[in-house]
A = this chain, B = another copy of it.
């Protein structure tokens, strides 16, 4: 006869053991990067819910604030976005009055990007939120570990 009770126990045990686990996937570095990114993404979204800013939007605000007049193509290069993706983000920030485009004097193909006063103000708030977000993220590491982690991640994306 088919053993129905036994497999039930086996199933339970296996289910319990695997309940929080991911099996052999646990050894895959890329998988952990993906999960970690997801966790950071979710916390970022919560942190910036009030400001209604995304990671990319904050990154663009930040870079334009640091380097006024930067061209869209430069933003894309630094943030590893293509031109089309950069467009949609700049469009959104411009529509919200945080950023303005000006044709570059030295190169008519380029759009020089600048923050508006509203954009500057948003950036100040965003940097405070970033600080809180970073504190949450780094709370689980020592200073040495955080530094090592940044250095290793940089080896991946550089």
List the interface of chain A (C-beta within 8 A of B). 8, 11, 14-15, 18-25, 27-41, 44, 55, 59, 62-63, 66-67, 69, 74, 77-80, 106, 130, 133-134, 137-138, 140-141, 145-146, 148-150, 152-157
Verify B145–A152 contact, CB threshold 8 A: yes
How many Å lie between the Cα of A153 and that of B39 in the bound state? Answer: 10
Closest CB in chain B relative to A6 CB, distance in Å? 14
- Are B34 and A40 in contact, with the CB atoms below 8 A? yes
Output the least CB separation between A105 and chain B (Å).
9
Cβ contact within 8 Å between B36 and A33: yes
* B157 adjacent to A32 (CB under 8 Å): yes
Number of copies: 2
Q: Once bound together, how far apart are the Cα atoms of A69 and B18, in whole Å?
A: 13
- Set of chain B residues within 8 Å of A22, measured between Cβ atoms: 63, 78-79
CB of A40, distance to nearest CB on chain B (Å): 5
Instruction: State whether B14 touches A157 (Cβ < 8 A).
Output: no
Offer 5 A-B interface pairs, CB within 8 angstroms, sorted by A.
Answer: A31-B59, A33-B36, A34-B37, A36-B153, A149-B149
B59 touches A130 (CB 8 A): no
Residue from B23, B145, B155 within 8 A of A67 (CB atoms): B23
- In the bound complex, residues from chain B placing their C-beta under 8 Å from that of A74 are 15, 19
B24 touches A66 (CB 8 A): yes
